[in-house]
Amino acid sequence: MKQITLLATGGTIASAKSKSSAAVTAGINAETLLQSLPEIPKGLEVQVENFESCGSYALNLETVFRLCSRINTLLDAPDVDGVVVTHGTDTMEESAFVAWLLVRSEKPVVFTGAQRHAGLSDTDGPRNIGDALSAAASDDLFGIGPVILFEGDIHGARYGCKTHTSRVDTFRSVGLGKLGEVDFGEVHLYQRPVHTRPQVAAQALDPNVELIALGLGATPKLMALAGDHGASGIILSAFGRGNAPDGFANETERLTQMGIHVVVASRCFEGRTRAVYGNDSGGVSLVDKGAILAGDLSAVKARLLLSACLGAGYDTVQIARAFAV
């Protein structure tokens, strides 16, 4: 019999309307979440544990680091075969990605949640939990790293992202496709990630990496402000292949000479950054001034990778190597 730990962190799946206001708030514990299932998948023994109950929009990097540390501890136990984490959808892709970076074990780690809160008659939470438990108990998921399970689909943590504010099939691996699915408790895996997980040995996640989104005609004022007020790194969510408006290359040079790391991601949903365009602040100019390109990582995940690298004490060469995967 497989033993799975259900680790509850709050989010919509653990929320209902407040009796004192119209707001929806988290507060349903792991025991109640498990009891909401019509039945526990056969062949499983499920232990429950409450971590912290809040909306995922209220989480911070220190809390997510502790969550990953707790997952590591749980999976170190020889009789624990996998972990299911219930989590809010707003930042689930980020917490799952941090787990992809920090969790040591190759045992399954499955993040799931709900788009419809537990007080609604058509809540999607119980089905997602049941499917996640089945996935966490599957030998097929051993060695592929943490995943997101939602509406029956299994998405790898590196690429899975929330694509719709309210639909129950919100999670997608845009342009790449899901890893597999759960169908009436049966786990079907169709592909395995080719990327080797970096498993960064971070002692913490550096909270001083700032993310700046670029738009037409944007100026580097916010970038300069962040650099002058304690930022250890800057992620630019830039155009296309990794290009920025005029002025960003010069600011990149100033900040990198101060020891502040600058990473350039693309705001596009598909494709990779590449230094192709020169002049002004094209990708070639940004790289020449010291920027690192994020490859195919989204800006939000590039921020987390840089935070983990800095928390592990990586130097510039090691950071560049981590983004080159």
CA of 94: how far to CAs of 112, 130, 160, 232, 277, in Å? 13, 22, 9, 19, 30
pLDDT, tens digit (0-9, with 9 covering 90-100), for 240-299: 999 999 999 999 999 999 999 999 999 999 999 999 999 889 999 999 999 999 999 999
pLDDT at 18 over 80: no
- Does 90 appear as a known binding residue? yes
| Percentage of the chain modeled with pLDDT above 90 | 91
Q: At residue 188, what are phi and psi to the nearest 5 degrees?
A: -120, 115
The one catalytic residue among 89, 123, 252, 273: 89
pLDDT of residue 92: 98
- Does 219 appear as a known binding residue? no
Is residue 98 domain-shared with residue 237, that is, in the same domain?
A: no
pLDDT of residue 23: 87
pLDDT at 80 over 90: yes
pLDDT of residue 22: 73
State the Cα–Cα distance between residues 139 and 192, nearest whole angstrom.
13
- Does 89 appear as a known binding residue? yes
Q: Mark whether 89 is an active-site residue.
A: yes
pLDDT of residue 5: 98
Is residue 152 domain-shared with residue 248, that is, in the same domain?
A: no
Domain that holds residue 234: 209-323
251, 272, 306, 106: CA torsion to nearest 10: 180
Q: Mark whether 5 is an active-site residue.
A: no
> How close are the terminal C-alpha atoms of the chain, in Å?
37
State the Cα–Cα distance between residues 152 and 140, nearest whole angstrom.
16
In a domain, 243, yes or no: yes
Indicate the residue among 159, 189, 219 that finishes a domain.
189
pLDDT of residue 19: 73
Domain count, the chain: 2
* Closest among 279, 223, 275 to 254, alpha carbons compared: 223
